[in-house]
Chains A and B, each alone.
Chain A
């Protein structure tokens, strides 16, 4: 594999965000993934979301595990620090990074093998700790990078490219995230950018553990008839519970929907999530109902997408640990070292 930098050719008419950046400023290196891989669409959605949110690229730290999906952080936000960690253990590294400097935006990118197989434990614990992050699983039901083995999210009865039938029960990361205490839980499809971009924007502005499971077909190993993570299958079985509009600040609301169809959720930073309900009676503030709803659809072979649960008042790990507002990596001797005097007093007690 070679390393290619994308030439920075800025067309003068390219639209700019309020920071003066064009979308190109949010790009990374040229992707080395297979043409048509769902993961590339997710990278594009991330670029779009960050650009639209006026995020300074260098204020994002992007971390991943190992897999095709985990390679993607190299392909967006080229001016951010990235960290391709070890297989399945990105959540702990992200947790540590987040503890060190609470002021950056943390983006975790992982695969279904990475998060649901080898990394299930770390995934679970990052969710339950409420690490402030946007955690995206690019879910294709297979191990792409090691060429087509089933992952733990592959549906029972689904068929591999080589014809093997998966007999194990799948793990549904969305249900798990809900159960474990994630405070923003969504599912989407890499082929539905309109739905995905606002979901990512909402997650980036959420304080606490935000999880998005994105079905992302693997064109090389899991896009054939018999796969339940193929483009065709997902398009045919996708049911959206809601459509999300993301408003950066509260004062930007315009009442274009009639009451009853729309729910508005204000997040910590004042940003507003406006959900247009598609499913009758679906309440994204009700964790239990969300779990039931997902399970009922799953039983019918349907994939529920949209913002499934959100708690705009959630706190994060720093809140739980009561850490200081100043990032820990910026504290110096004066704040950290009790000094020789204290030590002398301690010595005196130790006999």
Chain B
């Protein structure tokens, strides 16, 4: 079946392709190859894995945003659906934009009722083609994926040499696999060139130079590198999607960069603990004893860790927790993304607590913030959360190259040495000597007579002596607040972006919302709607946040959770009137899109009636 309709999407280097596959069918590497081939042609892409909480048999998707202007967020909508999964056919068909395309396996005829009138259909008899060429059923199955990449290359104008190079790189050392893959690719290419009409697809790729020096990396891998560079020596973790690949990457990088060649011994220790309680316990023990340590986890893991997090907060022990957020509550949507752990992390544990949170926007910041967290944990002697999410953690993203300054020194914080103690400095474990709320500590084994103290989660006085006296308790908890205030200047500051014209509308957002927001900013501008942006990069919030809110009459707070958690924190921590903060919430587990943000803001901004705040009130 192949019908042609009048209205077709025609676009060069700007479209969305989505592959619908079955988990376990080997499509992942073919799909990724497609995405990478465009990158090699200098065209920015941002792919997203949408996968089930299951190893085999369930539907899985790979969505590739192609955009030469470099928009890396999800756009929303699909221009071309490569529909390889009969189970999800109807859903997949529905997602295609009007005038878009459906590429399907036409080996078995389908009735016209299974198609849409406003969608262009490209049938390729993939199963049949593979059946005639290959005898081995597994080979047929796997190579089918490469065949459709070949077809797409022909129809879109992807350079075959680029794919050939990528295949060579992918199967380096497994030469036997290169040739069959190359054959399958060529079979698809020829089918596309010789059998299909040359203009069947209106989506084209043209070589550009729009990728520049940027690198293509997953957030989890980048965060793991951040931990290596930041000097983490102890990692304790318990497997949980979407954070497992972070600990696994740390293991890989350590094995590569942290082995003492002469002795064959390791400058790191990694423990796959029995659960998250033990993971954080190990981190706390190592932090207490002066080693930089971290754990990577996700929501349910944080839930289990909270008692220890409270201990680390109150007993003032460094700990770094990288929370790769996923859909909650409970097991929620384990393989989908959200930003819904803000409150549970900011106030983790019983009693009055406040924890430092860092919000990276992309892999580059995952790297920077992971390393920064290790410094902050030592400097502030407290748990630090790096709040990434599945969208950045488990997807490749284009970002600026990772950078490290060799002159940089680890900030080990206020640790008193044997010499300090010998010099007769008064040591009170919880004394606020410098007025910044941060006390000095000694490490076990430092001095035979001085500096030993007893660490506990129970109240104590400034000299770490057990005390149940109210004033001693107040001294400590108020000092902890002072310390939190000190943290304000030490955490990554917000990033602002002003509209082309003065406006009384502001937008606050954070983390993985960033690329979609950048695109929405331009889209709004194109409609004559002006907003100023502020990207929050840490909690505690800095004064810049208050200033920004004060400058704008309405501030849209964009979050990927149901309960407007950032807004709640802005209201309670900064005492901002609720009416000033308009929530815009996206929480179905898919990454927020530029379209969603644009529409949501446009809807709430009455026309293009945008005046500076001095100009009067909004109607």
Contacts and interface: CB of A to CB of B under 8 A. Distances in A.
Interface of A: 1, 3, 56-59, 61, 63, 73-74, 78-86, 89, 91-101, 103-104, 121-122, 124-125, 129, 317-318, 321-325, 327-329, 331-333, 335-340, 342-344, 346-347, 350-351
B258 A336 contact: yes
B267 to A, nearest CB: 5
B402 A328 contact: no
B266 A322 contact: yes
B122 interface: no
A327 B402 CA distance: 29
B40 A125 contact: no
A181 to B, nearest CB: 14
A328 B39 CA distance: 41
Contacts of A103: 445
**Nearest 3 A/B pairs, CB to CB:** A96-B285, A92-B281, A100-B291
- The residue among B40, B234, B287, B289 with the most chain A CB atoms within 10 A of its own CB is B289
12 contacts: A58-B444, A58-B445, A79-B452, A84-B458, A85-B457, A89-B307, A95-B285, A96-B284, A99-B285, A340-B404, A343-B402, A347-B402
B233 A351 contact: no
Given A59-B445, A101-B289, A351-B40, A321 B266 contact: yes
Contacts of B157: none
A351 B217 CA distance: 8
- The residue among B39, B273, B279, B461 with the most chain A CB atoms within 10 A of its own CB is B273
Given A95-B271, A338-B228, A83 B455 contact: yes
A337 B230 CA distance: 7
B217 A350 contact: yes
Nearest to B461: A3
A319 to B, nearest CB: 10
Given A331-B267, A343-B403, A350-B216, A92 B273 contact: yes
A346 to B, nearest CB: 7
B495 to A, nearest CB: 22
Nearest to A80: B452
B269 interface: yes
Nearest to B236: A96
Nearest to B286: A96
Contacts of B40: 351
A336 B468 contact: no
B466 A1 contact: yes
A58 B308 contact: no
A79 B409 CA distance: 31
B260 A324 contact: yes
Contact of A343 (B404, B449, B461): B404
Contacts of A339: 404, 406
A172 to B, nearest CB: 21
Interface in B438-472: 442-449, 452-458, 461, 465-468
B454 A324 contact: no
Contacts of A89: 277-278, 281, 307-308
B267 A336 contact: yes
B277 A92 contact: yes
Contact of B468 (A1, A61, A344): A1
Given A95-B271, A343-B404, A323 B266 contact: yes
A96 B283 contact: yes
B410 A96 contact: no
Contact of B291 (A322, A329, A335): A329
B286 A86 contact: no
A91 B229 CA distance: 29
- The residue among B280, B311, B444, B467 with the most chain A CB atoms within 10 A of its own CB is B444
Nearest to B290: A329
Given A93-B284, A331-B267, A333-B409, A346 B289 contact: no
Contact of A82 (B228, B283, B455): B455
A346 B290 contact: no
A104 B444 CA distance: 8
A181 B121 CA distance: 64
A321 B445 contact: no
A336 B458 CA distance: 35
A82 B406 CA distance: 36
A339 B402 CA distance: 11
Contacts of A85: 281, 284-285, 311, 457
Nearest to B229: A337
Given A85-B311, A347-B402, A96 B281 contact: yes
A3 B229 CA distance: 43
A96 to B, nearest CB: 3
B135 interface: no
Contact of B445 (A82, A104, A332, A351): A104
A3 B466 contact: yes
B275 interface: yes
Nearest to A349: B215
Contact of A84 (B263, B283, B293, B455): B455
A339 B215 CA distance: 18
A314 B63 CA distance: 53
Contact of A125 (B211, B213, B266, B278): B278
B274 interface: yes
B132 interface: no
Nearest to B279: A92
B268 interface: yes
Given A58-B452, A86-B307, A92-B278, A328 B231 contact: no
Contact of B271 (A99, A121, A328, A331): A99
Nearest to B40: A351
Interface string B390-417: 0000000000011111101110000000
B454 A92 contact: no
B288 interface: yes
A236 B325 CA distance: 58
A100 B402 contact: no
A174 to B, nearest CB: 21
A133 to B, nearest CB: 11
Given A3-B465, A344-B401, A351-B215, 6 more contacts: A82-B454, A97-B288, A99-B269, A317-B269, A335-B267, A336-B228
Interface in B66-117: none
Given A99-B234, A329-B291, A351-B211, A342 B282 contact: no
B286 A346 contact: no
B527 to A, nearest CB: 35
A80 B216 CA distance: 49
Contacts of B406: 337, 339-340
